[in-house]
Amino acid sequence: MNFDFVTDIFAWLAQLAVAAEPWQQGGVLLLAGAIPFIESYLGSFLGVLLGVPPVLAVAAAVLGNLASTFLVTAIAGGARGAVMRNRSEQQEPSPRRRKVAKYLDRLGVPGVCLLGPLVLASQITAPALVALGAKKRSVFLFQGLSIVVWGILFGFFGNAVIAWFL
């Protein structure tokens, strides 16, 4: 997979945040958190590197990520409910679905949510879990926890980078 588009978006967000007034930078980081593959971790990292107070950077990026992830997860839950109501017989799952279900069975919702950002965006992971039949409540809980933890970790990482190089 080619991630040049993520690099371009990250650079665009950095330019946007640098050009913004201090009170507008939180909004830019809120937007950054809502973008898949930028999310809370790169949004908070970007904010800290650009001189935004770490608490504001992490909070804005986390809130943006939570809002977008929970929105698509709620939509996926509603779509799954509608599909399952109209399904009369059990169909054979596809090989891809069986593979994801295998990891869900092995790691559980907490493991997939906490380790998911290493592989996929949370805006993809959480709806996929709900579509596979995981309880929405546990997905919301553990995905929210994951978003907060990753955002805080990368906020600290941004501070460490600044301390190391300055």
How does DSSP classify residue 20? S
Per residue in 117-151, is it b (16+ CB within 10 Å) or e — as a string?
A: beeebbbebbbbbbbbebebeebbebbbebbbbbb
Q: What is the pLDDT of residue 28?
A: 97
Q: What is the pLDDT of residue 96?
A: 65
Rounded to whole angstroms, the Cα distance separating 64 from 32 reads 7
Q: What is the pLDDT of residue 86?
A: 72
The pTM of this model reads 0.88
3-state secondary structure of 34: helix
For residue 16, the one-letter residue type is L
Residue 142 CA, distance from chain mean position = 12
For residue 76, the one-letter residue type is A
The dihedrals phi and psi of 50, each to the nearest 5 degrees, come to -85, 0
Residues of the chain with pLDDT under 50: none
CB distance 162 to 48 below 8 Å? yes
Nearest Cα residue to 145 out of 124, 121, 122, 127: 122
Task: Report the phi/psi class of residue 145: left, alpha or beta, with left for phi > 0 and alpha for psi in -120 to 50.
Answer: alpha
Q: What is the pLDDT of residue 110?
A: 95
Task: Provide the mean pLDDT of the chain.
Answer: 90
